[in-house]
Structure 1
């Protein structure tokens, strides 16, 4: 493995926070992923960089040497980037945003906001069923940002070196035909859906281990799960053949209703990802703020859910806490 600037940032973050766990939170990475990355860095450099115990992580002699070099190189590289940006600023080309999304409920609103706030911006979108495909495209420089989601407290794979930040978190709802016997309830117990057939769109979502575990806790094993595109999912639910999980900001459809699952057995976290060493990383905070605003826009057609969010501040757009 060749040593890169991002590896030096990892070493500095661990030294500054005094803990691999705290450094992982600060960098927006999962702790096991950061631990594995540190081990690869140490193998490349030929020895341990930190003494680690219950009190935290303290640099070894080798670690102090690496930190001394990193604290010179990183500011120098930042200065180079800033000077290059200033030099190019006078004749800078319009910003370019290449966005990828997986079943994203806010991608359209994000594009609308970017276009309204930055009319010269060049914006392209790419849709995929796979978080890993989008992450690979971002890591390879073919996309700038990935807008996707994960179930519960899961995190996307750390194999591609992306930084991930939370946009919002929602309870997962169930989509029912308005003629369904449970449609008149404000909340539906998952156990009351034990006899239903289900339908889901392909790709990464809650129809995996977390859904099976939630059903097991509710005392049943889910029956047949159909797989089709989103339009097909809506058609099957409308026909009364199956019910579906859906996001809280699912656009209202005539003849269908969305209902909360009692106790919130499933949660969906909407995430924005980018590569920390990419040119687009400088726009990450702006994109994150715009994505959060786009999420807020998406709540307008859902006044009942808005009321629920007021009573449940642990959901919706939350204060930054890492991923």
Structure 2
């Protein structure tokens, strides 16, 4: 999948250089080391060469890495100053009541915005979307967002280095999208091993989902073939044509040509969380946004008959009855 170099990539390179190793950098960034390694490989592909020489002593910048670090240490502070100046200007011209919500791909953003605007008709509400939890968490820490609707694989922690308060909203199983004329659509659920000869598609994200998927396939007795990282529309197209099985959230709304069905035993889980800065003014309203997010998730789940029926027999999934706070060590 084509990508372009972004500031978050430069932050990753600086973190590795400052920490001196990928293992230390992964701890600082709140990422599993395989996920950070995969990110570094993507960045190196974008730049056309290796940025670090790695051995038992750690990671040392190559000449290309030194060049990138030199430019990054100029660009990142300059960008931060630009953000601060822009925020001051915007603050002087914005309504006193505002709500800025960031979200990764998930079922709740629209419902949250609707509930905020309905209960606070005079407020200014803005949104930002990204596939990266890290990017949105950083925006909250920097004062550019008030809340982030994030999602993490299994029991993985949310981004830890920003000092945010995190609460769990809901827990999803992972479903699969297959053509609507496939024989498996007649089943209540499909075994992961029954799909061993297929290729796969998924929307991109940071974290350990790719590694967890490969591990689940290994437990099912096979190694997955090609994994396409594509946008949601391409996932639907690939699934409808039978060229790939697309991994999806169970709240996926029906699209022409495809059906979302459960994986037997729910071998992959996805946790939805909300984060905010506990020292910011937004913290006072955070319990309301948490409630709005839970209501929005529940509404979306109920509009999907197959998932609603699945939830009735799988009580460990769906909206958490008592929202649990995530304890994340910086």
Q: Deviations over 1:270-293 (max 9, x none)?
A: 110111111111111010011101
Q: Deviations over 1:121-148 (max 9, x none)?
A: 2110101111100011000000111101
Alignment of 1:242-321 (within 5 A): 242-318=244-320, 319-321=322-324
2:203 alignment partner in structure 1? 201
Confirm or deny: 8 A CA contact 1:96 1:121 kept in the other structure: yes
Confirm or deny: 8 A CA contact 1:149 1:205 kept in the other structure: no
Confirm or deny: 8 A CA contact 1:144 1:274 kept in the other structure: yes
- Classify the secondary structure of the residue corresponding to 2:128: strand
5+ residue gaps in structure 1? 1-29, 34-91
- Classify the secondary structure of the residue corresponding to 1:158: coil
Alignment of 1:101-180 (within 5 A): 101-180=103-182
Confirm or deny: 8 A CA contact 2:107 2:296 kept in the other structure: no
Over aligned residue pairs, what C-alpha RMSD do you find?
1.9
Number of residue pairs the alignment of both structures matches = 234
Q: Hey, what's the Cα distance between the residues in 2 that align with 1:180 and 1:123?
A: 43
Confirm or deny: 8 A CA contact 2:103 2:130 kept in the other structure: yes
Q: Deviations over 1:179-225 (max 9, x none)?
A: 22322211000011111100111223674111111111111111001
Q: Deviations over 1:217-253 (max 9, x none)?
A: 1111110011221111111111111111110100111
Pick from 215, 221, 236: which aligns with 1:234?
236
> How many angstroms does 1:157 deviate by?
2.2
Q: Hey, what's the Cα distance between the residues in 2 that align with 1:158 and 1:141?
A: 16
5+ residue gaps in structure 2? 1-26, 31-93
User: Once structures 1 and 2 are overlaid, which stretch shifts more, 136-145 or 227-236?
Assistant: 227-236
Q: Deviations over 1:96-141 (max 9, x none)?
A: 1111111122111211121122211211010111110001100000
Q: Hey, what's the Cα distance between the residues in 2 that align with 1:200 and 1:304?
A: 21
Q: Which has the larger radius of gyration?
A: 1
Q: Hey, what's the Cα distance between the residues in 1 that align with 2:218 and 2:108?
A: 31
TM-score if structure 2 supplies the norm length? 0.68
Confirm or deny: 8 A CA contact 1:200 1:207 kept in the other structure: no
Q: Hey, what's the Cα distance between the residues in 2 that align with 1:201 and 1:207?
A: 11
Q: Deviations over 1:82-105 (max 9, x none)?
A: xxxxxxxxxx95521111111122
**Gap change, CA 1:107 and 1:205, over 3 Å in 2:** farther
1:213 alignment partner in structure 2? 215
**Gap change, CA 1:298 and 1:206, over 3 Å in 2:** farther
Q: Hey, what's the Cα distance between the residues in 2 that align with 1:117 and 1:286?
A: 10
Confirm or deny: 8 A CA contact 2:117 2:123 kept in the other structure: yes
Confirm or deny: 8 A CA contact 1:206 1:266 kept in the other structure: no
TM-score if structure 1 supplies the norm length? 0.69
- Classify the secondary structure of the residue corresponding to 2:247: strand
**Gap change, CA 1:209 and 1:164, over 3 Å in 2:** same
Structure 1 residue runs of 4 or more that deviate by more than 6 Å after TM superposition: none
**Gap change, CA 1:307 and 1:183, over 3 Å in 2:** closer
**Gap change, CA 1:125 and 1:172, over 3 Å in 2:** same
